[in-house]
Amino acid sequence: MSEAATPPEAPSPAISDLAEAIVNARSVVVLTGAGVSVPSGIPDFRTPETGMWANVDPMEVAHIDTFQRDPERFWSFYGERFASLGDKRPNGAHDVLAELERRGLIDAVITQNIDRLHHMAGTEKLIEVHGSIEFSSCLACGEEYELDWVRERAQQDGIPTCTSCEAAPPLKPNVVLFGEMLPEAALQEAFNLAAKADLLLAIGSSLVVHPVAGLPTITLRRGGQLALVTSGPTPYDEDAFVKLEGDVERELTALLAAIDDLDS
C-alpha cells in the first residue's frame, strides 16, 4: 500500500495577505534591486567579502571620470563583470514576476539592476532606471553594440572600441555610472507608476539608493500600500504592511502558489 501524499504546505499568513492584496489591487508596481538576482549567481553590491564592491572602490573604477580619463582601468573592471555574466540566467523570482505580468496582476517592473535578467525572463513593461548591459554605445557617433560582441572584444583587446569611427573611441556600457544622472524619462515614468499604484512591491532592495529609494514614499503618500520582500533592514520596514525576509526565490514561488489557491 503506497504512502499518502504529503499535503502541500499552507502559505504563511504574510504570504496569504500579500497574495490577496495583489489580486484585489487595481494597480501593482514592482521595484527590484540586486537581491532579486542573487539566486542567479550575481552578487549584490554591499555584502562584505562577496559583494560586487567588496574589493574595489566603485567611485574609482565605475565613475564616468574614470571611463573618460582611463578607459583601460574602467574596462579592466567592467570586462571582468561582463565575462562573469555570460552564463547567468533568470531565476524563479524573475519568472514569477513575468508570470504575474502575463496574468495582468502587475503593471510594471521598475528595476535598479543592469543585468537584463527581467527582460530575459519575459517581463515586457520594464523600466531600467540604471540602464542595462544589453548594449554599449560609442559616445562619438551613437552606434550601439550588443553585449556578446562587446564581451568578446573586451576579452580579446581589453577595451572594446567603435568600429564605425576612424578614431575607434572606447565604448561605454549603456548603464548609469557614478557621476552621471539617471535617465530623466525612465525616472519620470517610475515616479508616475509609483504615484498611481495601489500597491508597491519592493523586492531585493535595501531602499537606500536615491532617488529610486523615494518611490515607496510616493506610493504611501498617495494612499497606496507597501510590501517588502528582502532580507535585512530597510528605512521602510515600519511602513510596510507585509515584509518577507526569506530567500527571494522561495518567497515569490510561495506567493504565486497562494495566488493560484485564491483563483481555484
Per-residue pLDDT, averaged over 68-89, amounts to 85
Chain-centroid distance, C-alpha 230 = 13
- CATH number, residue 138: 3.30.1600.10
* Catalytic residue, candidates 63, 94, 130, 210: 130
Residue given cell 504570504 in the structure block: 15
Each residue's pLDDT tens digit, 95-147:
999 999 999 999 999 999 999 999 999 999 999 999 999 999 999 999 999 99
Examine the domain organization and report whether 110 and 217 are in the same domain: yes
Q: Evaluate whether 96 touches 253 at the Cβ level (below 8 Å).
A: yes
- Rounded to whole angstroms, the Cα distance separating 198 from 27 reads 5
For 148-189, how does the pLDDT look when each residue is reduced to its tens digit (9 = 90+)?
899 889 888 889 999 999 999 999 999 999 899 999 999 999
Q: How many CB atoms lie within 10 A of CB 58?
A: 14
Q: Domain tally for the chain?
A: 2
Angle at 63 between CA 57 and CA 67, to 5 degrees: 120
Of 112, 141, 175, the residue that ends a domain is 175
What was the pLDDT predicted at 56? Answer: 60
pTM for the structure as a whole? 0.89
Location of C-alpha cell 492584496: 21
**Cα–Cα separations (whole angstroms), residue 73 to 38, 170, 231, 259:** 26, 12, 33, 48
Instruction: Answer whether 201's CB lies under 8 Å from 33's CB.
Output: no
151 close to 35: Cβ distance less than 8 angstroms: no
What is the C-alpha to C-alpha distance for residues 82 and 78, in angstroms, rounded to an integer?
Answer: 6
- Residue at a domain's end among 118, 147, 175: 175
Q: Is there a single domain that holds both residue 223 and residue 158?
A: no
- Our answer to whether residue 118 is catalytic in this structure is no
Cell numbers at 2, concatenated: 503506497
For residues 161, 165, 168 and 174, what is the CA-based torsion angle, rounded to 10 degrees? -30
Residue range of the domain that includes 66: 43-84+132-175
